[in-house]
Chain A
Amino acid sequence: MSEFALLFPVTVFLILSAISVVTTRNLVHSVFWLASTLITTAAVYVFLGATFIAAIQLLLYTGGVITLMLFGIMLSRRHSSTTVPNPSEHQLLGAVTAGGVLVLFLTAIWRTPAFGRVVDVGTSLDVGNLFLSEHLLAFEALSVLLLAAMLGAIVLTRTSDP
Chain B
Amino acid sequence: MILDNPYLHALIVGLPLLAVALTVAGFGVFYERRFAAWIQLRRGPVWVGPQGIFQIVADALKMFQKEDLVPASADQAIFKLASWFPMFLALSLLAVVPMGAVEAEDGSWTAAWAVSSLDVGILWPLALGGLMVFPLWAAGWSSNNKYSLLSGMRMVAQGISYEIPMVLTAMVPVILAGSLSLDDIVTYQMNHGWFAVWPPGPGLVAFVIFFLTSLAEADRVPFDIPEAESEIVGGITIEYSGIRMGLFVLTEYAHTFVAAALTATLFLGGPHMPFSVGPAWMGVVWLLGKTLFLFFVIYWIRWTWLRYRADQLMDLAWRWLVPVSLGLVMLSAVWVQLMEGK
A binds B: yes
Query: Taking beta carbons and an 8 Å cutoff, which residues of A are in contact with B?
Result: 2, 28-29, 32, 35, 39, 51-52, 54-56, 58-59, 62-63, 66-67, 69-70, 73, 81-83, 123-124
The reply to whether B163 and A55 form a contact with Cβ atoms under 8 Å apart is: no
Query: Complex: how many Å from CA A70 to CA B156?
Result: 9
Q: Which residues of A contact B142 (CB under 8 A)?
A: 82
Q: Number of contacting residues on B, CB 8 A?
A: 29
Partner of A82 from B74, B124, B128, B130 at Cβ < 8 Å: B74
The reply to whether B160 and A59 form a contact with Cβ atoms under 8 Å apart is: no
The reply to whether B144 and A59 form a contact with Cβ atoms under 8 Å apart is: no
Which of B32-40, B49-57, B132-140 makes up part of the contact surface?
B132-140
The reply to whether A29 and B78 form a contact with Cβ atoms under 8 Å apart is: yes
**Any chain A CB within 8 A of the CB of B284?**
no
Query: Complex: how many Å from CA A70 to CA B140?
Result: 12
CB contacts between A and B, total, < 8 Å: 66
By DSSP majority rule, is chain A's interface helix, strand, loop, or mixed? helix
Query: Taking beta carbons and an 8 Å cutoff, which residues of B are in contact with A?
Result: 7, 73-75, 77-78, 118-120, 123-124, 126-128, 130-131, 133-134, 137-138, 141-142, 144, 153, 156, 160, 163, 167, 180
The reply to whether A59 and B137 form a contact with Cβ atoms under 8 Å apart is: no
Query: Complex: how many Å from CA A51 to CA B119?
Result: 7
The reply to whether B119 and A82 form a contact with Cβ atoms under 8 Å apart is: no
Please give me the residue from chain A that is nearest to B73 by CB atom.
A81
Q: Which residues of A contact B123 (CB under 8 A)?
A: 52, 55-56, 59, 124
Query: Complex: how many Å from CA A81 to CA B163?
Result: 31
The reply to whether B144 and A82 form a contact with Cβ atoms under 8 Å apart is: yes
The reply to whether A58 and B128 form a contact with Cβ atoms under 8 Å apart is: yes
Query: Complex: how many Å from CA A35 to CA B138?
Result: 12
Name the distance in Å between B79's Cβ and chain A's nearest Cβ: 9
Please give me the residue from chain A that is nearest to B181 by CB atom.
A124
Known: A35-B134, A70-B153. A123 touches B119 (CB 8 A): yes
